[in-house]
Structure 1
Amino acid sequence: MSRIGKRPVEMPGGVSAAVSGQTIEVKGPKGVRKFTATDDIDFKVDGNVVTVSPRGQSKRARQQWGMTRTQVQNLVTGVSEGFRKDLEIQGVGYRAQAQGKVLKLALGYSHDVDFAIPDGVEIKTPKPTEVEITGIDQQLVGEVASKIRKWRKPEPYKGKGIRYKGEFVFRKEGKKK
């Protein structure tokens, strides 16, 4: 039995869910999200609780059970609170600036990097060395943060680069004479 799958998904006030076939649609103050499950899973909505259960005891049904419950929980969290990733930029002359639907990054290259902000994600730069990425889709927010971080990963000698807020970068000792 799936420990995660057994737990029901609680929906806070202002959030509603509707099931049609294998698709669940969750509406909240921040937007609307949908998820389509495999044929091995059943959804049941009772008031402000969504219950996920497998259709049988096959290995695939048991595998999908906990994952589907987590996906539904992410839908509810996304439309009620949203998801957020914070990035820090460290290095002399390294900075970021959000301009409309483009994030301009100065990362020590001979040119500025223009990162096009996809739909469904909002990027703010409260300081030139901080980037806040928010949205209702957890996967998309994480993917955008990862793509921005890829432009200049933190290096181990001086620690320069783009890192997640609170990320520990293992530092190495440089050459000795």
Structure 2
Amino acid sequence: MSRIGKLPVQFASDIAVSANGNVITFAKGKNSVDLDTKGNVAFNLDGNVLTFATLSDSREHRAFWGTYRALAQNVVTGLTTGYTKVLEINGVGYRAAVNGRVLNLQLGFSHDINYELPDGIEASVEKNAVTLKGHDKQSLGQVAAEIRSFRPPEPYKGKGVKYAEEIIARKAGKTSKK
């Protein structure tokens, strides 16, 4: 039995939740998110509580039960409080700036990297930290991973783009023999 799947998803009254076939739509203000269950789980919408159930006792349906419940909870959390990822830029001359919907990165290459931010993701820069905010957990993580991939942190000097909570395992440099 799934411990996650058993838990109900509770949401505030300012979030409008509707079901159309296998698609659950969550809406708050101008933000709207669709969760397509693809017929893998059964769900019940009762007031401000959404519950999920398995279609059968097969291993696959039990896995979907907990997965879709967690995805629904992520959507509700994203619409109420939102998600934040912080990236740190370390290196001499490494900088970032936001110009409208474009994140301009100077990461030691011969050219600047202009990264177009997708809809629903906002960025702000303060010193060497880029803060990304959004209501969709998956797309926020994808954007953070793409920005990090431009210059991943290297283990010798720690230069590059890293997550704020990430710990870089540092290596000793070359040593001379005497």
Q: Mark yes or no: TM-score above 0.5.
A: yes
Aligned counterparts of 1:3 and 1:86: Cα–Cα separation in 2: 31
Partner of 2:174, secondary structure, is: coil
Instruction: Tell me whether 1:91 sits opposite 2:94 in the alignment.
Output: no
Q: Provide the residue aligned with 1:145 in structure 2.
A: 144
Q: Provide the residue aligned with 1:46 in structure 2.
A: 46
Q: Provide the residue aligned with 2:61 in structure 1.
A: 61
Letter in 2 for 1:64: F
Q: CA deviation at 1:120?
A: 1.8
Aligned counterparts of 2:40 and 2:28: Cα–Cα separation in 1: 27
Aligned counterparts of 2:104 and 2:81: Cα–Cα separation in 1: 27
Q: CA deviation at 1:29?
A: 4.2
Letter in 1 for 2:17: A
Q: CA deviation at 1:132?
A: 0.9
Letter in 1 for 2:132: I
Letter in 2 for 1:164: Y
Q: Provide the residue aligned with 1:170 in structure 2.
A: 169
Compared with structure 1, are the counterparts of its residues 58 and 38 closer, same or farther at alpha carbon in structure 2 (3 Å cutoff)? farther
Aligned counterparts of 1:176 and 1:61: Cα–Cα separation in 2: 56
Q: CA deviation at 1:84?
A: 1.1
Give the aligned length. 176
Q: Deviations over 1:111-155 (max 9, x none)?
A: 11111111221111133x111111111110000000000011111
TM-score of the two chains, using structure 2 as the length reference: 0.94
Partner of 1:139, secondary structure, is: helix
Identity %: 43
Aligned counterparts of 1:86 and 1:2: Cα–Cα separation in 2: 32
Q: Provide the residue aligned with 1:25 in structure 2.
A: 25
Instruction: Tell me whether 1:109 sits opposite 2:109 in the alignment.
Output: yes
Q: CA deviation at 1:166?
A: 2.0
Aligned counterparts of 1:166 and 1:40: Cα–Cα separation in 2: 35
Partner of 1:60, secondary structure, is: helix
Letter in 2 for 1:14: D
Runs of 4+ in 1 over 3 A off after TM superposition: none
Aligned counterparts of 1:92 and 1:53: Cα–Cα separation in 2: 54
Partner of 1:108, secondary structure, is: coil
Partner of 2:4, secondary structure, is: helix
RMSD: 1.2
Aligned counterparts of 1:2 and 1:166: Cα–Cα separation in 2: 30
Q: Is the 8 A contact 2:54 2:62 kept in 1?
A: yes
Q: Is the 8 A contact 1:16 1:48 kept in 2?
A: no
Aligned counterparts of 1:74 and 1:30: Cα–Cα separation in 2: 18
